[in-house]
Structure 1
């Protein structure tokens, strides 16, 4: 997986504007816009189809996300992730896996390899961020089964994970992976055969498989090998289209994934940043500030009530900054959510929450010490973090005029709802660490 962050959610600069589509789509008006409302041979000798009809059929918003091509049916392709056809994350992850396989030159790709990639993509969002994928999505069950059965953590290496899943002979896992192949490889192609599928309610997958073998315009055809194992073969033109437009199409898939997951996790911050593991994090500046606070104010660890002295560092590990509400939920390193502790204690806490009633006053007290320090020392970045969090206009004036009790009340007002949302999303709560 490549790092996508928020940049992939900008619309493709190469995507066609309405005028460009009108200029480039010269299609015979005497033939329908496809048996599947799709792409047909362009005729320069015939009249043009009504562009408004095209837009009504495929949706101008959808077509604007994918790159133009005069070699493949990009118009119908733009509808494979239409909201009306997406009830789970499967299609987005299937497309991401397909892009990865094509990018390394593969033309024939087994269902199993693509399903393995889907599970690998879903691994971190499910285990680290505990995102809800909805009731219809069984990727969560597969990910949790692998993690629990083989004791693999959320940060397990992606390449090793893909290899582990693909080569695993676990019968239960293989059955779960097989179940994931019953719909998505076929339904992904359904926009290409829309007219031919009208009225069909049974054996739709079998029909799509046969139609894919006859089609020259859909993304891939579906076959079975001598062992009756299903695989796809990328059709002419599509390999180059997917490979050369990899980043654009990947961005489209992630955009659709974010939209889908946001609806199912409405109170969860930073969905776009929770689709893959972070590449690196640096707490050097925050650690330096907390070291100064410890030296000047002689604060103690809120989890153990131990002083930050050499003897305790030897017993419990070096100084380490903990996110009071797990980083994997808030996705930031702002001062108001950081507390100093010992490395061993921090490791023990992991991604859990501490009992709110037991620790909240200790947390507020140490945060007040930090707030007072950064304001008096004019630490601009950290002052701004507190200002935004507390919703105050002038931190210096607030510190001079308001009591510590008012600060406690305002901190609790902001932290409590975030804490509860994290609990409801599945983050564990432990009573004590020491």
Structure 2
């Protein structure tokens, strides 16, 4: 992916900012700057930019459990801030920025200020040697080699030569940044699916209307089914469509990972992982019944295609239990390794988990 060219600006130096990256801070620093420039700002508080770095990465770390690497200071900062500020894991970016920008908590201020030691001047390393902080400040303030901003004690000032370019190309620049960030994070999370869609908080999740119709056909044919977690009886119109492996990990709504579940349990389960020894067999049995019923009752249902990546010969064969387990088990293991918690105790008939 190439950046838009402009004859009077060293665009190649901007692209080079993301070469040989060893941490996420450059990506989120640049995204924070672009966001402020889009609002017309030319003199921007460092503290506000540091708050935006946290806000931009908050959902990726806290909801999707994507790892930035053990040594990444931004992920460590998010973990510290979660323990000191009353912010939920799904807080909006605007709410996070507002709270962190105005926070009087000394721990939060110290955590944000930590980035000042490395981030603002080192981002400019493609324009000049930025290893010496005082000298880097001096070079930046004279816009050496036409660098994009000058660094001062508590703020940065956008180079007028760059301001219009950054404003006019904000969308492309953010896409370029996210693309490079996705490539970087994939190396840190090689087995985690769909990294690009875990970088931005989706305001509204897609509804599961088609998936519910799928299960309505199955439940309607059987009369009712048992919830695999609570053993309560589920009937058409009185169940939740539940992700067996949490959406926060797989980030898709494919029908092979969706089952009907007790509505109260579904709310309490949140993004907990199922216990395979207890839950896989009834999960598979229900999926297997569903496939056979839909193949008979609604053979043209497009959701049957969701199974084809796992079972290419689905049209002529039933689901293979061992193969299904071999697909699910590694995902559960990886999700657990990335910080997703398991349901903490076995479910009994008529009993709901409160984890």
For this structure pair, what is the TM-score category when the shorter chain's length is used for normalisation? over 0.9
CA contact (8 A) 1:354 1:432 kept: no
CA contact (8 A) 1:87 1:136 kept: no
Q: Residue in 1 aligned with 2:11? A: 74
The answer on 1:249 being equivalent to 2:194 is no
Secondary structure of 1:353's counterpart equals coil
Secondary structure of 2:152's counterpart equals strand
1:424 to 330, 337, 351: 337
Instruction: Return the TM-score normalized by structure 2.
Output: 0.92
The verdict on how the C-alpha distance between 1:348 and 1:151 changes in structure 2, with shifts beyond 3 A counting, is farther
CA contact (8 A) 1:116 1:166 kept: yes
> Which runs of at least 4 in structure 1 moved beyond 4 Å after TM superposition?
none
**Rounded Cα–Cα distance in structure 2 between residues aligned with 1:420 and 1:120:** 28
Structure 1: gaps spanning 5 or more residues: 1-10, 12-64, 225-229, 400-405
CA contact (8 A) 1:325 1:337 kept: yes
Count matched residues. 343
Q: Residue in 1 aligned with 2:254? A: 334
The answer on 1:208 being equivalent to 2:136 is yes
1:22-421 alignment runs, 5 A limit:
65-82=2-19, 84=20, 86-194=21-129, 204-215=132-143, 217-224=146-153, 230-279=154-203, 280-297=205-222, 298-309=224-235, 318-376=238-296, 377-390=298-311, 392-393=312-313, 395-399=314-318, 407-421=320-334
**Rounded Cα–Cα distance in structure 2 between residues aligned with 1:174 and 1:324:** 40
- 1:151 CA displacement: 4.2
Per-residue deviation, residues 266-303 of structure 1 (Å, max 9, x unmatched): 00010111101223312001011112211211211111
CA contact (8 A) 1:323 1:339 kept: yes
Secondary structure of 2:253's counterpart equals coil
- 1:380 CA displacement: 3.6
Per-residue deviation, residues 242-270 of structure 1 (Å, max 9, x unmatched): 00011111111111101110000000010
**Rounded Cα–Cα distance in structure 2 between residues aligned with 1:146 and 1:347:** 26
**Rounded Cα–Cα distance in structure 1 between residues aligned with 2:64 and 2:262:** 24
> What RMSD, in angstroms, separates the aligned Cα atoms of the two structures?
1.7
**Rounded Cα–Cα distance in structure 2 between residues aligned with 1:408 and 1:327:** 22
- 1:173 CA displacement: 1.1
CA contact (8 A) 2:218 2:294 kept: no
Secondary structure of 2:201's counterpart equals coil
- 1:375 CA displacement: 1.5
Secondary structure of 1:354's counterpart equals coil
Instruction: Return the TM-score normalized by structure 1.
Output: 0.76
CA contact (8 A) 2:217 2:294 kept: no
- 1:72 CA displacement: 2.2
